[in-house]
Amino acid sequence: MPVIDARGLVKRYGDLVAVGGISFSVESGEVFGMLGPNGAGKTTTLEMLEGLRRPDAGTATVLGADVVREARAIKARIGVQLQATALPPLTRVREAIDLFGALFPTCRPTEELLKDFDLEAKAGTYATELSGGQMQRLSIALALVNNPDVVFLDEPTTGLDPQARLNIWDVIEGVRQRGKTVVLTTHNMEEAERLCARVAVVDHGSIVALDTPASLISAHAPGTTIDFDAPNGVDAQRLAGLDGIDKVTANGRVAVTTRAPERVLRQLLDPAATWLRRSGDGQEVAIRDLRVRQGTLEDVFIALTGRSLRT
pLDDT band per the 50, 70, 90 thresholds, residue 303? confident
Query: What's the whole-number mean pLDDT along residues 286-291?
Result: 92
pLDDT higher than threshold 60 for residue 197 = yes
Domain boundaries, the chain: 4-218, 223-294
Please give the CATH topology (third level) of the domain spanning 4-218: Rossmann fold (3.40.50)
The predicted-structure confidence for 168-193, as pLDDT tens digits, reads as follows: 999 899 999 999 999 999 988 899 99
Note the pLDDT of residue 271: 84
Enumerate the β-bridge partners of residue 150.
Answer: 78, 181
pLDDT band per the 50, 70, 90 thresholds, residue 285? confident
pLDDT higher than threshold 90 for residue 252 = no
The predicted-structure confidence for 50-66, as pLDDT tens digits, reads as follows: 999 999 999 999 999 99
Q: What percent of the chain clears pLDDT 70, i.e. is strictly above it?
A: 97
Query: What's the whole-number mean pLDDT along residues 103-122?
Result: 94
Pick the CATH number of 223-294 from 3.30.70, 2.40.70, 1.10.1220, 2.160.20: 3.30.70
pLDDT higher than threshold 70 for residue 308 = no
pLDDT band per the 50, 70, 90 thresholds, residue 307? low
Query: In 224-258, which positions are buried (b, 16+ CB within 10 angstroms) versus exposed (e)?
Result: bbbbbebeeebbeebbeebebbeebeeeeebbbbb
Query: What's the whole-number mean pLDDT along residues 259-273?
Result: 90
pLDDT higher than threshold 70 for residue 256 = yes
Element holding 300 (H helix, E strand): helix 297-305
Q: Are strands 198-203 and 31-35 parallel, antiparallel or unpaired?
A: parallel
The predicted-structure confidence for 36-52, as pLDDT tens digits, reads as follows: 888 899 999 999 999 99
The average confidence (pLDDT) of the chain is: 91
The predicted-structure confidence for 67-83, as pLDDT tens digits, reads as follows: 999 999 999 999 999 88
pLDDT band per the 50, 70, 90 thresholds, residue 231? confident
The whole model's pTM is what? 0.85
Note the pLDDT of residue 123: 97
Q: How many angstroms separate the CA atoms of 188 and 310, rounded?
A: 17
pLDDT higher than threshold 70 for residue 309 = no
Note the pLDDT of residue 114: 96
Element holding 261 (H helix, E strand): helix 261-268
Query: What's the whole-number mean pLDDT along residues 136-155?
Result: 95
Note the pLDDT of residue 199: 97
Give me the count of residues in the chain: 311
Note the pLDDT of residue 179: 92
Query: What's the whole-number mean pLDDT along residues 156-161?
Result: 88
CA-atom Rg of the chain in angstroms? 24
Q: How many angstroms separate the CA atoms of 283 and 86, rounded?
A: 61
Note the pLDDT of residue 66: 97
pLDDT band per the 50, 70, 90 thresholds, residue 278? low
The region that residue 276 occupies, defined by phi over 0 for left and psi between -120 and 50 for alpha, beta otherwise, is alpha
